Amino acid sequence: MIAKKDGRHACEYALDPAEQQKALADLAQTGGARVVKNGKLEVPSALSDQLVVDVATQRDAQTEDQLKKLYAKIGAAVNGAVKPEEHGLTETIEAGEEIRDVGDWAFTTNVTAVDMGAAGSTRGRLLETRQGAQRLTLSVTIAPDPGATKLDAHMAALARSAIAKLK
């Protein structure tokens, strides 16, 4: 992360694009998942292995309560209009957990989760935290889904590391 006086600062990390491109080429050749030995379903890694991490910091005055209310309002609108459960999505824009020992305060919000059975699972999750005047937002999209508890632990560790750099 680059330290600047004002404005939003962000960086994004993802899986090796060359490997993903190779997996997508394989997916195009095979036409998707295929049944292999012992009747098991083999899902191409272009579908089953995903990781995108976005870390952003900014100076602002938003409080924990304001952010939680904002996410609750967005969640109510999305869940009311889109009906995500009808499309196989669960926990859409749903409050997560308070995270201890990360900044002045920290909490997670589930963006969405989808379980496609043998074809895989994906989860999107946010962690918001504040350290002094700096607010850090950590966004993760991951497949296969490790579960909210395990993902929160990894996100908290990454947020702690990023906050240490801000001090």
* Structure confidence by residue, pLDDT tens digits, 96-155: 789 999 999 999 999 988 887 766 788 899 999 999 999 999 999 998 889 999 999 999
Is the full-model pTM beyond 0.85?
no
Q: What is the CATH number of domain 50-166?
A: 2.60.120
Q: Please tell me the distance from the alpha carbon of residue 119 to that of residue 131, in angstroms, as a whole number.
A: 40
Sequence ranges of the domains in the chain: 50-166
Whether residue 56 contacts residue 137, with contact meaning beta carbons closer than 8 Å, is answered with yes
Residue 35 has pLDDT above 80, yes or no: no
CA distances from 64 to 48, 86, 127 (A): 34, 31, 11
